Structure formats: C-alpha cells, structure tokens
C-alpha cells in the first residue's frame, strides 16, 4: 500500500516562491460588496415569526411536551369554569352597591 505514493512527486517540488515586489504588483483591491439591508431584515422578521409559530404548534403537541399541553388544557377548563360562574352571578348596578349598608365611606 505504501508503494502507491512513492511514484508521486513531492508537494514541495511544486511550490514556487515569488518575491514580495511581484505579489504587490499583481494585487488588486477587493470589490466593495453591496449589502441589501432590507432583504436581511425581511429574512430576519420572517424567520422570527416562523420560529415563533412553530414553537406554538410544537408546544401544543402532547407527545413532545406533555406538561405544557396539560397546563394549557387546565387553563382552558379553569377559564371556562370562571366564565360560567360569572354568568350565574346576579347583575349588580352601581346604585345598589352604594346603597348597601356594608359599604362605608
């Protein structure tokens, strides 16, 4: 296996040295690249919005995040019970509140 590489010329034989004066003679400044800031902001905003949306969708997946899913369901049930309890309360007018004997000024 080592015999395959013997016939190859050494890499050091292929390297050419160039004086510094020649290098600076051929050197050219790089072209100024145009930066489109509006496109960068668009990508940033769209990426952020899609990341947020994907996070919301994944959080509601009970197989990936069971604790968050259970907490969301418990919150929905709690809100529904609070709305039902509020709907059962009698409507009280401000006049009834001020005329109540338990209210002290």
Report which of residues 10 and 14 the model is more confident about. Answer: 14
DSSP, res 50? H
* Burial class (CB within 10 angstroms; exposed 0-12, middle 13-18, buried 19+) of 54: exposed
H or E segment at 20? helix 20-26
Tokens of residue 74, six digits: 């418990």
pLDDT of residue 24 exceeding 60, the answer is yes
Give 56-72 pLDDT, tens digit per residue: 888 888 888 888 888 98
Contacts of 68 (CB under 8 A, 6+ apart): 59, 60
* Least confident stretch, 24-28, 30-34, 90-94: 90-94
77-86 LR contacts (CB < 8 Å, sep 24+): none
Tokens of residue 1, six digits: 């296996």
Model pLDDT, residue 101: 62
pLDDT of residue 74 exceeding 90, the answer is yes
Average pLDDT of the residues in 21-45: 89
């Amino acid at each position: 296996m080592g015999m395959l590489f013997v016939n190859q010329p050494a890499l050091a034989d292929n390297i050419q040295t160039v004086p510094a004066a020649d290098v600076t003679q051929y050197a050219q400044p790089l072209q100024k690249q145009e930066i489109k800031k509006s496109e960068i902001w668009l990508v940033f905003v769209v990426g952020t919005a899609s990341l947020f949306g994907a996070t919301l969708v994944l959080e509601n997946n009970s197989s990936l995040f069971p604790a968050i899913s259970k907490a969301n369901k418990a919150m929905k049930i709690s809100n529904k019970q609070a709305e039902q309890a509020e709907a059962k309360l009698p409507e009280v007018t401000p006049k009834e509140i001020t005329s109540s004997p338990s209210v002290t000024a």
